[in-house]
Amino acid sequence: MAKPASEVQTSLLQLRNGFLVLLLLGFLLSLLMSRLLIRLLDRPIQALTLAARDIAERRYTQRIHFQFGHEFYDLAEAVNRMGEALDRQLAGLTEQIQRLEAVFNGMNEGVMVLNSQGRIQSVNRALSKLLRQGIQPLGRRPLEVIMSLDLQEACDRMLDCRNEEKAVSTLQIVLSDGRSYEVSMVRLQDRIREPGGILVFHELTEIKR
């Protein structure tokens, strides 16, 4: 027996309302699950972010610890291995630099290193004894610490020269106190940055005597 049209419409309305209620409940449930998932992922992501920031700032001792089977376990282990490798490389480089500095400062000859602008980048202990007293040499031109116009002009020519055959030269200078030196000059070759130069001062005073 056919139902009246009003009953059919009522049934359809109830069905529609029930579907809308289920849809709303599903949306709320998915929203709740999303918030819970974000909370669960937020802490691991923060830990990974902090570890990556430490590595970028050259702090390689930070380690991330997740339980085996965690979603980010493999990524955390990869970050940890990278930090350990960089830490070992940094320790090795630091040791090499210390050894080179010991050799550099232990040389009897004076050594001066210039940057591409002709400014003094470093000097060893032997050369510091030749410089004008009370003057900090770093960042200055050679003429400002050693009163020799010939030396300054030779440094300028060396840095301006683009001929590799003329990248090595020698010069003899006499300081105001009467001591004479032979200066070996080498222009550094660097394809990435502008080249600088190294000057080695060999004292000739004792030899001449």
182, 170 Cβ separation under 8 angstroms: yes
Domains in the chain, CATH or no CATH each? 11-97 (no CATH), 107-208 (3.30.450.20)
Q: Which residue has the higher pLDDT, 163 or 63?
A: 63
**Residue 173: pLDDT over 70:** yes
* 43/137 Cα distance (integer angstroms): 51
Fill in the amino acid letter for 4: P
* 103/96 Cα distance (integer angstroms): 11
194, 118 Cβ separation under 8 angstroms: no
**Residue 119: pLDDT over 90:** yes
Long-range CB contact pairs, 113-119, < 8 A, 24+: 113/196, 113/197, 113/198, 113/199, 114/142, 114/155, 114/159, 114/196, 114/197, 114/198, 114/199, 115/196, 116/159, 116/193, 116/194, 116/195, 116/196, 118/142, 118/155, 118/156, 118/159
**Alpha-helix runs per DSSP H in 57-204:** 73-106, 125-128, 142-145, 149-160
DSSP string for 56-84:
HTT---------TT-TTHHHHHHHHHHHH
Q: Which residue has the higher pLDDT, 186 or 67?
A: 186
- Provide the terminal-to-terminal Cα distance of the chain, rounded to the nearest Å: 135
Please choose, from the candidates 127, 200, 199, the residue with its C-alpha nearest in 3D space to the C-alpha of residue 159. 199
pLDDT in tens, 37-48: 666 666 777 777
* 151/129 Cα distance (integer angstroms): 17
Q: Is the pTM of this model over 0.75?
A: no
- Reported as a pLDDT band with limits 50, 70 and 90, residue 72 is confident
**Residue 57: pLDDT over 80:** no
